[in-house]
Amino acid sequence: MKGFKNLINIKKIGWVMAFLLATVTQAIAAEKLRVGVSVPAADHGWTAGLLWWANKSAEELGAQYQDAEFFVVAANSGTKQVADVEDLMVKGINALVILPHNPATLQRVISEAYESGIYTVVVDRELETPTQHVFLAGDNAGMGEAAAKYMAEALKGKGNIVVLEGMPIPINDQRVDAFEAEMAKHKRINILDSQPADWNPQKALSVMENMLRKHQKIDAVWAGDDDMLKAAMKAIEESGRTDIHLVVGGGGSKEVIKRVKNGDPIVRATVTYPPSMVASGIALAVHGARGEKLGNMYHGVPSRVVLAADLITAENAEAFYQPAAAY
């Protein structure tokens, strides 16, 4: 009988130990920083670069912060991205970094995450109703302005230009408005045509082909994205046209930077809009969720960060060229 009681006591001790172990495990999990990263699917070069940088950052920061866990997901639509964010919230994330597929579609679920106490960093595409701790983006207006200034100077203040625009969302408007405002200062530069190509290479190819048929004399092309620039160059080369002597892009893809670096006679410049911004967003989320300061700053993580739009020409292209990157 005594042996039987001892057996019961051992079993009780086992149950208690199991309970304590589970409690400790849950406590450790609760202390772990869980960062969810949601980006659009890699359907063209820039978004492929975005996903590459997101995974690279998650891997590097995961090695640096042993108590942090990262979940990177990519969605091919706004609806899918909403579901992805909901799944991340179920996983118990306490920080969210998101580049919205479409800000209007994602507004509700991002607001829910933010209001539930999840440290939220929105990248690139701003929400109509800001509900985040940090908004980080490239300088869209600066990108359009830098491209226009370079083109106006290269054209010596006169010539015919066509423009390939991105998707009809605010960041595209900011780029195009700034470009047009700068070009308006040069009365002998004519913007013959400006059409949306949605940052999509296939659509950009079709739009550029139509522009070539429509306009007999084009001096220069501004493509508000390097993927569209490559499509525009394909259309120009296949057409046999020799009147176009300048094409300027945006984004800073490695292929375009390489052309600029190697002294391409037509592709002579692009402007940075780096997909690596998502990596900076992830780093900000880690610091912000921990309540840490950045470097020697006397304050916490800034609530709004705008990355500079750098003009890349043959003179400085080497500094921006990253052959290992996906974009």
The pLDDT of residue 44 is: 79
Structural tokens at position 242: 């020799």
183 plus 279 within the same structural domain: no
For residue 43, is it within any domain?
A: yes
The pLDDT of residue 296 is: 83
What pLDDT digit, counting tens, does each position of 57-73 carry?
999 999 999 999 999 99
Burial of 258 (0-12, 13-18, 19+ CB in 10 A): middle
Length of the chain, please? 327
38 plus 71 within the same structural domain: yes
144 plus 241 within the same structural domain: yes
259 plus 154 within the same structural domain: yes
d(CA 257, CA 323): 10
d(CA 50, CA 233): 23
Which structural domain, as residue segments, surrounds residue 185? 140-271
114 plus 216 within the same structural domain: no
157 plus 267 within the same structural domain: yes
d(CA 262, CA 323): 14
Instruction: Output the domain CATH number for residue 160.
Output: 3.40.50.2300
Q: What is the mean pLDDT of residues 162-181?
A: 95
What pLDDT digit, counting tens, does each position of 114-165 carry?
999 999 999 999 999 999 999 999 999 999 999 999 999 999 999 999 999 9
CA dihedral of residues 268, 269, 275, 279 (deg, nearest 10) = 110
pLDDT greater than 60 at residue 107: yes
63 plus 144 within the same structural domain: no
Confirm if 288 and 121 have CB atoms less than 8 A apart: yes
d(CA 270, CA 309): 10
For residue 327, is it within any domain?
A: no
173 plus 259 within the same structural domain: yes
Specify the range with the lowest mean pLDDT, choosing from 30-44, 48-62, 92-106, 305-319.
30-44
Count how many domains the chain has.
Answer: 2
Strands 267-271 and 311-312: antiparallel
Provide the residue type at 122 as one letter. Answer: V
For residue 12, is it within any domain?
A: no
The string over 159-197, giving b where at least 16 C-beta atoms fall within 10 Å of a residue's C-beta and e elsewhere, is bbbbbbbbbeeebbebbbebbeebbeebeebebebbebb
For residue 161, is it within any domain?
A: yes
Whole-model pTM? 0.80
Q: What is the mean pLDDT of residues 243-268?
A: 96
pLDDT greater than 70 at residue 3: no
Domain ends where: 271, 292, 321? 271
The pLDDT of residue 99 is: 97
What pLDDT digit, counting tens, does each position of 196-231 carry?
999 999 999 999 999 999 999 999 999 999 999 999
For residue 213, is it within any domain?
A: yes
192 plus 251 within the same structural domain: yes
Chain centre to alpha carbon of residue 322 = 17
Confirm if 98 and 85 have CB atoms less than 8 A apart: yes
For tokens 């994205």, name the residue: 225
For residue 175, is it within any domain?
A: yes
Instruction: Provide the sign of the torsion angle of the four alpha carbons 169, 172, 177, 180, taken in this order.
Output: negative
Structural tokens at position 192: 């013959």
The pLDDT of residue 118 is: 98
Provide the residue type at 312 as one letter. Answer: I
Confirm if 243 and 268 have CB atoms less than 8 A apart: no
d(CA 281, CA 314): 29
Confidence of residue 293 (pLDDT cuts 50, 70, 90): confident
The pLDDT of residue 217 is: 97
Provide the residue type at 301 as one letter. Answer: V
For residue 318, is it within any domain?
A: no
What pLDDT digit, counting tens, does each position of 92-106 carry?
999 999 999 989 999
For tokens 């829910």, name the residue: 112
167 plus 246 within the same structural domain: yes
In the chain the first and final C-alpha atoms are separated, in Å, by 74
For residue 70, is it within any domain?
A: yes
221 plus 297 within the same structural domain: no
258 plus 296 within the same structural domain: no
Confidence of residue 27 (pLDDT cuts 50, 70, 90): very low
pLDDT mean across residues, the chain = 90
